[in-house]
Structure formats: structure tokens, C-alpha cells
Chain A
Amino acid sequence: MTESIGIVTPKTFKVDQPLQLVSGAVLPQFELVYETYGELNSDASNAVLICHALSGDHHVAGYHQDSDKPGWWNDYIGPNKPIDTNKLYVVCSNNLGSCRGSTGPTTLNPETGQVYGSDFPIITCRDWVNSQNLLRQHLGIEQWAAIVGGSMGGMQVMQWAIDYPNSLRHAVVIAAAPKLSAQNIAFNEVARRAIMTDPDFHEGRFIDVGTTPKGGLALARMLGHLTYLSDDMMGAKFGRELRSESLKYSFDVEFQVESYLRYQGEKFATKQNFDANTYLLMTKALDYFDPAAEFDNDLSQAFAQTQAKFLVVSFTSDWRFSPARSREIVRALLDNDLDVSYAEVESEHGHDAFLLPNTHYEGIFRAYMQRVIKEASQ
């Protein structure tokens, strides 16, 4: 897996029409930033949409000019990789509410001339899918060959299959859950409280004031990070290894794992400059996701109109969205006699495993995408 797409440049899709949101609010106009790789074939049958996870963005593969940081799924997308850009036209759009270019809390509110900040409306998974569907039309794609996503991305894939059953042939749902558990929501709530109680939060108007709630955001990310890793992986990587040779008996960083978490948190809040309001919006969208809710809490019913074929993948050490959560999805799909394959990949990397190289995962992913490619070229 050495080949890369090379240099890629994001594009912007501007929509001047209002977008009605699930919450009841309306976005008068909006922009979606997205990247594409590979070539759309003549009958537009080889387009694959990638949906990103909580802190992800549209930069899913290749490199930006003047940056040595590859896209977040560069291991799996590119020439001859499982999502083969020699054969497929890959699209990844940046979610609404993001801080990476698409209209979100850091962009200007046309009605006030100021950044949206906390005025940005609550966004749901369904809103993302509705906005991505406009992008689909804009790109001249009648039906996606596949929609692929991990974690929060996997939830968008399910929402697509439910809301636009004729607009996709294959759905690849990786390390996801049909809805958040109380524990998942609790973690999100603690993360949000960390941000909102930071003195620099200023009720979400921190950009106007010229501050950022870095401490709160770093804490939120530390907590998130904990839930992405597995106990085994942390044990193997850090154990109880100390920073210095002897214990200091103070509240300074003593253990390597503390140092690592603090570093990850600070990096997220300062270097990556992630927007605190975006973090709030994304975690809230996760909490709200529950496609079965309007079908009497019956997930099987939610998938009743679905036409897509499915690949569902989970990872053994993922305790954020455990294999049991993926099996709930599989069960609901089987109830509808849909074409579904399911793989439970052995990994020690916890929830993060879906982003990392792994022979079994790659093999399954590749085999399934070969099927997608074969159908697209027929």
C-alpha cells in the first residue's frame, strides 16, 4: 500500500437555496467543501461517497500542496488500494457544521455579518445526508456505486440507505452503531461540559471575544481519545511506564499515558485548531442519531424500504461501538432479507482500528469493493 493519489485540491459546492433542517431551523444558504479522486466514468456508475467521522473532514486521501499530512483514510483509498481510485470516482464531503470549510460555526452568518458561533443551528445526521444528496445531484450522479463510512460516517451510510434507498447500490458500515447507548451519550455530555464550562467559552461567542476554550476542548478530546483506544492497546503502548526515573508524588505528569493524553488533547485544541462549537454540534448529532425512533423503535422496520447491499465491519477491541452493536445492524438487515456480509476483525486498537492497517480488514474491504467495481463496470 505504497501508492498515493498525490496532490489533491478541495473544491466548494455553493447552494443558494435554503436548507430545511430537522430541528426546524433553516440555513438560508450554505457551502460544502469536498474532494474527489479518480475519474467519473461515462455513465456515472463508479462514484463512491465517503462519509467522515467526528473530527474528520473532506481530506480523506492524498496530500494537500505544502503539507506532508496524508488524508485520514490514505491507507485504504488510492490507486490499487481497497477503494481503488484507478476504477472508482471517490467523493468525500465536509459535513455541515464542521470547522474545515463547509458552512459551520466558524463561517460568517450572512444574516448578521458575524461568525455563526453558537448561533449555528443544531445539525443531525439526516441533515448531512440531505446536503450530501444535493452534492450528488450537482455532480451528475444518479446512484452512488457505494457509500462508505466508519463510526459517525457509518451512521450517515445507514441514514442514506434509509432515506434515499434508490440512490446507492452498496452501503459499507464500519465500526458504527444503530444509535448511541446511554454510556456513549454520557461520555459526549462530559466532553461538552468540559468545553462549555471553560471560562474562555463565552457561551459559544469566543471568536467574537478573541479567545478559544482550549482547556475544555483538550479535555473533551482526551476523554474522546480514551474511548477510542482499548485497554490492551494502552497497556501495551504505555503500561505504567513513568516519565522520569522516580515518582515525584505530585499532580504533575508522572505516567507516560498521562503525557500522551495531554499531548493529544492540546494538539487537537491548539495545533489542529478544532472549533469548540463544531465539537459540540458533532457530538450532539451523534446523540440524536436513531433511525429506528420513527419506526416504533424497530430498526428492522427502518430498513424495510432499503435497496442497498451491505457490508458491516466491527473490531473486536472496540468498546465504544462494540461488535455487539454492529450485530444489531446485521440482524435488522437480515430481517429484511437484504444482501449483507459481516466481518468481525481481530484488532487490539479499539475504535481507532477502522483507520489503521490490518490484513483481515484490508482483505474484506478489498474483496467487497471488487464486487462494487465489478457491478459499476458492467
Chain B
Amino acid sequence: MSLISPEFKLIADWIEPTSHVLDLGCGDGTLLNYLQSTRQTRGYGMEIDPQKNIQAMMNGINVIQSNLDGQDLINYFDPNSFDYVIMTQALQVVRRPDILLDHMLTIGKQIIVTFPNFGHWKMRAQLLLKGRMPETDTLPYHWYDTPNIHLCTFNDFEDLCEEKDIEVVARSVVNNQHQSNLGIRLMPNLMGEVALYKVQRK
């Protein structure tokens, strides 16, 4: 199992003990396993990758192989089935993040998402000064092989929440070591590299 990332620790802080949790794009199940042992949660992971499915199963996770671009969430689960639906670093790879958000908010009372910020100054600088698509530690891909097809900035995401009547319950903006600092607190969209959002229907 991978080491517990600072991001997962931050997420665990937001989870009430013994909650019912669904983790979308659960990978090898590290987060769910961590939540099960530290927060006594129960629930399921969903993951499309066969290899990661096997790893998640080895980690003792209930994993349902599924494609988040489909209708699986609402086909499998009734409204309000989960206390939390979590998706870490995957919003940007799905075909319609807006529709997925709706589905997550249907089956979950609260949702927690994390994603990289395309508004970070390094991105802006590369595009502005070099005239090239940015490649950074947070987003280490070429424009042609990136799985990230719907990158957004924190401002973009919050605009979408506004439009959809989604309330931001909590937000944590950090650098790529998952630390916060004064700059990030003052200018999150310019200085923050990763954001964790906890949101719910208004």
C-alpha cells in the first residue's frame, strides 16, 4: 500500500467516525483503508483500472469496477446512500465533471473533492512567457498524453458551485506538499496548487 499522503490525512479530518463512504477512483484503496482504520468508516470504492482493482481487493476494500463517465453512480445507489462521496484528483479526468458532481450530490449527503489548480502562477507563467501548455510537478504531462481533460482553476470550480446551488462547507488550499502558507491564504487561486473542497447541496 502507498504511504498515507498529507491529502488523505486532511480528508480524514473532515470525516465523522463510522460514516458510510464511497470513494470514486479509489485506486489501490489506500484512502478507504486509512479511513476504515482511523475513522471506522464502511463503504465501497469504485475504480476502472483492473490492476488497481486487484490491489484494492488485496487491501481489503470492497471495490466495484466502474467507469465514472457512465451512469453507474445513480444506477447502483439510491439518493443519500452515503454520508460522504469522495473523489481525489479525478474530477479533471472525467468527461463531464459537472454531471458527475450532480450524481455525487444525489447519492451523497456531502462530497469531498480534490483537484489541481490550473490557475496557479506556474501554470500562468508557462503559458504567458513560453506560450506553451504548462508542465509542473502537480501536472506532469504533455498536452497530448495528459489524462486531465477538464482542468479548472479554484475560481472556475467555485463558479460552478455557485451556478449549481452547491454550498462550499469547507475548503483547504495547499501547495504540492499539502502545506498552507500566508501567500496561499491571501491569494489561493494564484498561489495554491491543490484544493480540497467539502461541499453539499444548499
Contact = CB atoms under 8 A, between A and B. Distances in A.
Nearest to A323: B65
B65 A334 contact: no
A334 B50 contact: no
A370 B66 CA distance: 23
Given A339-B62, A342-B65, A370-B58, 6 more contacts: A327-B75, A331-B76, A337-B20, A343-B65, A346-B50, A363-B50
Contacts of B143: none
Interface in B47-82: 50-51, 53-55, 57-58, 60-66, 75-78
A341 B64 contact: yes
Interface in A324-365: 327, 330-331, 334-335, 337, 339-346, 360, 363-364
Contacts of B62: 339-341
A327 B62 CA distance: 15
A334 B60 CA distance: 17
19 contacts: A327-B75, A334-B76, A335-B78, A341-B57, A341-B61, A341-B62, A341-B64, A342-B64, A342-B66, A343-B50, A344-B65, A346-B50, A360-B54, A363-B50, A364-B50, A364-B54, A366-B54, A367-B58, A371-B60
A346 B51 CA distance: 12
A370 to B, nearest CB: 7
A255 interface: no
Contacts of B63: 341-342
Nearest to A363: B54
B57 A368 contact: yes
A318 to B, nearest CB: 15
Contact of A364 (B44, B57, B66): B57
Contact of B75 (A331, A337, A339, A342): A331
A371 B76 contact: no
A366 B58 CA distance: 9
A334 B77 contact: yes
Q: B interface, by DSSP: helix, strand, loop or mixed?
A: mixed
Given A339-B62, A370-B58, A364 B53 contact: yes
Contacts of B55: 367
Interface residues of B, number: 20
Contacts of A366: 54
A342 to B, nearest CB: 5
Nearest to A343: B65
A340 B75 contact: no
Interface string A61-103: 0000000000000000000000000000000000000000000
Given A330-B64, A370-B58, A371-B60, A343 B53 contact: yes
Nearest to B59: A367
Contacts of A364: 50, 53-54, 57
Taking each of B57, B63, B76, B77, which has the highest tally of chain A beta carbons within 10 Å of its own beta carbon?
Answer: B57
Nearest to A339: B62
A370 B58 CA distance: 8
Contacts of B50: 343, 345-346, 360, 363-364
Nearest to B43: A337
Given A330-B76, A360-B50, A340 B64 contact: yes
A130 B60 CA distance: 32
Taking each of B44, B55, B65, which has the highest tally of chain A beta carbons within 10 Å of its own beta carbon?
Answer: B65
A124 to B, nearest CB: 30
Contacts of A342: 63-66
Contacts of A371: 57, 60
Nearest to A360: B50
Contacts of A331: 75-76
A151 B43 CA distance: 28
A331 B60 CA distance: 20
Contact of A367 (B44, B57, B77): B57
Nearest to B57: A367
Taking each of B61, B75, B76, which has the highest tally of chain A beta carbons within 10 Å of its own beta carbon?
Answer: B76
B33 to A, nearest CB: 13
A364 B51 CA distance: 9
